[in-house]
Amino acid sequence: MLFESEKSKFETLVKAYSPELYRYAYWRCRDRFVAEDLVQETFTRAWQAWEKLRDEKAAKSWLYTILRNEHARLFERKRIEIDETQNLDEIVDSAGSEFLNQFEMRDALKTLPEPYREPLMLQVLGGFSCAEIGGMMNISEGAVMTRLTRARLALRKIPGLKAAHKVRNR
């Protein structure tokens, strides 16, 4: 009966965090199928280590940490294929200016160094506090706050970036 109780708790956790873990995984890899695999592997590893989770309140950041590690393992094993023949000038914008703003923001985020970009995405997409982000990245809360501030300042300095107002201080 104890196993059923733990299984039920874990199933609740899966239902609660699957969508946002998928969004984070998709942001990291930009591939729907890889993101789904990352989330699946995250929950597999979480189930295997379920008894090690001491505080269920920490489950969200624990899952994000597992996902980050799984993403890193993916790149240890596999080299990304890049199509050098794709001409970007041939891509047609058919979704209007909002779509263009999303591209501008994505491109702007890519210009940020990884140490600034990752805490910003964890805060914006994951809704994590600075303390939680610090725990996931193994840095101090102050370092997280500094990186978030520098990321936002860098985004504000990009001329013509219309979507920058969407990345606000929390």
Res 57: pLDDT: 75
Question: Quick check: pTM over 0.75?
Answer: no
pLDDT 10s per residue in the chain (170 long)?
445 677 778 888 888 888 999 998 898 888 888 889 999 998 898 888 887 777 777 788 888 889 988 888 876 655 556 666 766 666 554 555 555 566 677 777 888 888 888 888 888 888 888 888 898 888 998 999 999 999 888 888 877 665 444 454 44
Let me know: does 67 contact 42? Beta carbons within 8 Å.
Answer: yes
Second-level CATH architecture of 2-77: Orthogonal Bundle (1.10)
Question: Within the chain, which residue ranges are assigned CATH 1.10.1740.10?
Answer: 2-77
**Residue 124 CA to chain centroid, in angstroms?**
9
Res 166: pLDDT: 47
Sequence-distant contacts of 73-80: CB under 8 A, at least 24 apart? 74/29, 74/34, 74/38
Distance between start and end Cα atoms, the chain? 43
Distances (CA, A) of 87 to 107, 109, 110: 17, 22, 19
Question: Within the chain, which residue ranges are assigned CATH 1.10.10.10?
Answer: 95-166
In whole angstroms, how large is the CA radius of gyration of the chain?
18
Longest dimension (CA), the chain: 61
* CA atoms lying within 13 Å on the CB side of residue 46: 28
Q: Per CATH, which fold does 95-166 belong to? A: Arc Repressor Mutant, subunit A (1.10.10)
